[in-house]
Amino acid sequence: MSAAVSTLRGKTALVTGSTSGIGLGIAVALAEQGASLILNGFGEVEAARELVGRSGGRVGFHSADLSKPAEIVALFDYATSEFGGVEVLVNNAGIQHTASVEEFPVDRWDAILALNLSAAFHTTRLALPTMRARGWGRIINIASVHGLVGSVHKAAYVAAKHGLVGLTKVTALETARTAITCNALCPGWVLTPLVQRQVDDRAARDRLDDESARRALLLEKQPSGDFVTAEQLAATLVFLCTEAAGQVRGAAWNIDGGWLAQ
Ligand code: NAD
């Protein structure tokens, strides 16, 4: 039995935005380590439940729209009444919109800041009391390389992800003398629905087929020329849940095929 298995059995993990992409991959990996899972998000809920449930643990779901603070409170009421609270919090739900600063739709700015940044503040403030009472916790914020560097046409996303890295550091400092840790993962390109939409835009703009558009997008920023996978991110996140990672605090760990080495 690995260290991670003994760490997560009997613990409850909430992964926001876990009906798709990276969040779904993380939920599967945490369930495989023995955690009970609370899923959240829109779309293919039953398929996600089925996949995460394959390892035999308990799987719950709450449909909170995390851009609305009152729904985040309802999500935590559900977590408390049905699971007795959350010990592993993964702030993953996120959206993207691309436009220049002067053409950026104000409602898209507000939506991205609400989901990609403010939601993590609300989940963190609501999760910490249970973690402190239990004397153990893990908060992992799925930021992005865009939490550490900028790219054109991504003002709201880059601002929110830089903010999320800042929130990670403050939370890590405020919990530094406890067995609660808070860290951020900063992925490069991962081929999920969020990125496929950017591939589609590139294909339309430059009249490319899907494969050529993917390669063009990748090679612009990611020296490896390969996508990062949800499984690779999930394995790193599982490591952050082990006692071996107990002194990793306030890190913003880029997993990016070399993007930030340039
Ligand atoms: P995705 O679109 O596949 O999944 C997003 C998830 O968030 C879905 O489950 C969706 O239902 C949920 N969601 C959307 N709006 C929501 C809301 N208002 N309330 C609750 N849930 C909501 O995207 P993904 O690529 O898997 O991205 C997951 C996270 O990883 C995001 O924070 C994203 O910024 C980050 N990220 C992605 C990449 C990448 O290349 N895909 C790179 C770096 C960081």
Domain parsing of the chain, residue ranges = 3-188+228-255, 189-227
> Mean pLDDT in the chain?
96
**Over residues 108-119, mean pLDDT:** 98
Question: Closest ligand 1 atom, CA of 194?
Answer: 2
Atom number of ligand 1 nearest to Cα 111 = 18
Q: Is the pTM of this model over 0.95?
A: yes
For residue 41, give Cα distances in angstroms to 1, 177, 190.
Answer: 32, 33, 19
Q: Which among 14, 92, 168 is the best mutation to test ligand 1's pocket, defined by most ligand atoms within 8 Å of the CB?
A: 92
Give the atom of ligand 1 at the shortest distance from the alpha carbon of 71. 19
Mutation pick for ligand 1 pocket among 18, 20, 148 (CB with most ligand atoms within 8 Å): 20
Cα gap 219→172, rounded to integer Å: 34
Give pLDDT, residue 12.
Answer: 98
Q: Is the CB of 82 under 6 A from ligand 1?
A: no
> In this predicted structure, what is the pLDDT of residue 3?
42
Q: What is the pLDDT of residue 127?
A: 98
Residue 41 Cβ inside 6 Å of ligand 1? The answer reads yes
Q: How confident is the model at residue 1 (pLDDT cuts 50, 70, 90)?
A: very low
pLDDT (tens digit, 9 = 90+) per residue, 165-219? 999 999 999 999 999 999 999 999 999 998 999 999 999 999 999 999 999 999 9
Please tell me the predicted confidence (pLDDT) of residue 6: 55
Residue 7 pLDDT greater than 90, yes or no: no
Mean pLDDT of 236-259: 98
**Confidence (pLDDT) at 2:** 44
172 lines ligand 1 (CB under 6 A): no
> What does the pLDDT read at residue 180?
98
Q: How confident is the model at residue 4 (pLDDT cuts 50, 70, 90)?
A: very low
**How remote is the CA of residue 194 from the centroid of ligand 1, in Å?**
7
pLDDT in tens, 121-138: 999 999 999 999 999 999
Residue 72 confidence (pLDDT): 98
Does the domain spanning 3-188+228-255 belong to CATH 3.40.50.720? Answer: yes
Active site residues: 157
Q: How far is the CA of 15 from the centre of ligand 1 (A)?
A: 11
Query: What confidence tens digit (pLDDT) does each residue in 139-172 have?
Result: 999 999 999 999 999 999 999 999 999 999 999 9
* CA–CA distance, 64 with 81 (Å, rounded to integer): 16
pLDDT classification of 33: cutoffs 50, 70, 90: very high
- Quick one: which atom of ligand 1 is closest to the CA of 19? 9
Q: How far apart are CA 1 and CA 53, in angstroms?
A: 20
Centroid of ligand 1 to alpha carbon of 41 (angstroms): 9
- The answer, yes or no, to whether residue 69 has pLDDT greater than 70, is yes
Instruction: Tell which atom from ligand 1 comes closest to the C-alpha of 65.
Output: 19
187 close to ligand 1 (CB < 6 Angstrom): yes
Separation of CA 7 and ligand 1 centre (Å): 26
Q: Is 257 in the pocket of ligand 1 (CB under 6 A)?
A: no
Q: For residues 228 and 256, is the Cβ–Cβ distance under 8 A? A: yes
CA angle 76, 85, 126 (to 5 degrees): 45
Q: Which of 56, 51, 64, 59 is nearest to 25 (CA)?
A: 51
Cα 101 to Cα 157: distance, rounded to the nearest angstrom: 11
Mean pLDDT calculated for residue range 85-97: 98
Instruction: State if residue 198 touches ligand 1 by the CB under 6 angstroms criterion.
Output: no
